[in-house]
A and B are shown apart, each in its own frame.
Chain A
Amino acid sequence: MGITAQEVGRIRRADSGFDADRIRQDFPILTQTVHGKPLVYLDNAATTQKPRAVIEAEQQFYLRDNSNIHRGVHELSERATQAYESARRKAQKFLGAGHSREIIFVRGATEAINLVAQTFGRERTGPGDEILISAMEHHSNIVPWQILCEQNGARLRVAPINDRGELIWEEFRKLLGPRTRLVSVAHVSNALGTVNPVKEIVQAAHRLGVPVLVDGAQGAPHLRVDVEELNCDFYAFSGHKVYGPTGVGVLYGKAKLLEAMPPYQGGGDMISSVTFEKTTYNSPPYKFEAGTPNIAGVVALGAALDYVNDIGMEAIAAYEQELLVYATQRISQVPGLTIIGTAKEKTGVISFVMEGLHPHDVGTVLDQEGVAVRTGHHCAQPLMDRFKVPATTRASLALYNTRQDVDALLAGLNKVREVLG
Chain B
Amino acid sequence: MSDLRALYQEVILDHSKRPRNFRALADSNRHAEGYNPLCGDRITVYVKLDGDRIVDIGFQGSGCAISTASASLLTETLKGKSRAEADELFAKFHDLVTGQGNGGVSLGKLAVFSGVSEFPVRVKCATLAWHTLKSALEGEEKTVSTE
Kindly state whether residue A359 has any CB partner on chain B within 8 Å: yes
The answer to the question of A31 belonging to the interface, with a C-beta cut-off of 8 Å to chain B, is no
Q: What 0/1 readout, one digit per residue, does chain A (360-380) give for beta carbons within 8 Å of chain B?
A: 110011001000000111000
User: In the bound complex, do residue B8 and residue A420 qualify as a contact, i.e. CB atoms below 8 Å apart?
Assistant: yes
Of the stretches B36-44, B52-60, B136-144, the one at the interface is B36-44
Task: Pick from B5, B37, B62, B65: contact of A361, CB below 8 A.
Answer: B65
Partner of A390, one of B7, B40, B66: B40
Tell me if A192 counts as interface (CB < 8 A to partner B).
no
Bound CA span A357–B39, Å: 13
Contacts of A364 in B (CB 8 A): 4, 7, 119, 122
CA–CA, A90 to B17, complex, Å? 54
Contact check, A391 vs B40: say whether CB atoms are below 8 A apart.
yes
Q: Would A390 and B62 count as touching, CB distance under 8 A?
A: yes
Q: Is there contact, CB below 8 Å, between B39 and A358?
A: yes
Chain B residues within an 8 Å CB radius of A390: 39-42, 62-63
- Distance in Å from the Cβ of A310 to the closest Cβ of chain B? 37
Q: Which residue of A lies closest to B68 (CB)?
A: A358
* Complex contacts, A420 vs chain B, CB 8 Å: 8, 13, 65
User: Quick one: given A361-B64, A361-B66, are A377 and B4 in contact (CB under 8 Å)?
Assistant: no
Given A368-B3, A376-B40, output 18 extra A-B contacts at Cβ < 8 Å: A358-B39, A360-B41, A361-B8, A361-B64, A361-B65, A361-B66, A364-B4, A365-B4, A368-B2, A368-B4, A381-B40, A390-B39, A390-B41, A390-B63, A391-B40, A419-B4, A419-B5, A421-B17
Could you jot down 14 A-B contacts, CB within 8 Å?
Answer: A358-B65, A360-B39, A360-B64, A360-B66, A360-B125, A361-B8, A361-B64, A364-B7, A364-B122, A376-B40, A377-B37, A390-B42, A390-B62, A419-B5
A384 adjacent to chain B (CB < 8 Å): yes
User: Does B64 contact A358, Cβ atoms closer than 8 Å?
Assistant: yes
Complex CA distance for A377 and B119, rounded to whole angstroms: 20
Min Cβ gap B8→A in Å is 5
Nearest residue (CB) in A for B124 is A360
B2-45 vs A, CB cutoff 8 Å, 1 = contact: the mask equals 11110110000100010000000000000000000111111000
| A421, B37: Cα distance in complex, Å | 26
Interface centre among A376, A377, A390 (most CB of B within 10 A): A390
Given the complex of chains A and B, what is the CA–CA distance between A358 and B125 in angstroms? 12
**B13, B37, B65, B122: which has the most chain A beta carbons within 10 Å?**
B65
User: Count of A residues near B, CB < 8 Å?
Assistant: 19
* CB atoms of B8 and A419 under 8 A apart: yes
Contact bitstring A397-421, B, C-beta under 8 A = 1, else 0: 0000000000000000000000111
Set of chain A residues within 8 Å of B64, measured between Cβ atoms: 358-361
Task: Give the Cβ gap from A69 to chain B, nearest Cβ, in Å.
Answer: 38
Docked Cα-Cα span, A405 to B41, in Å, equals 29
Whole-angstrom distance between the Cβ of A388 and the nearest chain B Cβ: 11
A17 within 8 A of B: no
Collect the chain B residues with CB atoms within 8 Å of residue A365's CB: 4
For A391, the chain B residues whose CB sits under 8 A away are: 39-40
Q: Is A178 an interface residue (CB 8 A)?
A: no
> Closest residue to A384 on the B side, CB-wise?
B40
B2: A residues at CB distance < 8 A: 368
- Is the Cβ of B13 less than 8 Å from the Cβ of A358? no
Quick one: given A356-B17, A358-B63, A361-B66, are A375 and B4 in contact (CB under 8 Å)? no
Q: Roughly how many angstroms separate A364 CA and B3 CA in the complex, as a whole number?
A: 11
Using Cβ atoms and an 8 Å threshold, which residues of chain A touch B65? 357-358, 361, 420
Taken together as a complex, chains A and B put the C-alpha atoms of A364 and B37 apart, in Å, by 17
A419 to chain B, nearest CB (A): 5
B122 and A376 contacting across the interface, CB-CB below 8 Å: no
Chain B residues within an 8 Å CB radius of A419: 4-5, 8
Contacts of B5 in A (CB 8 A): 419
The answer on a CB contact under 8 Å between B66 and A376 is: no
Return the 5 tightest CB-CB contacts between A and B, nearest first.
A390-B40, A358-B64, A360-B64, A391-B40, A360-B39
Given the complex, which residues of B lie within 8 Å of A376, measured CB to CB?
38-40
Chain A residues in 8 Å Cβ range of B13: 420-421
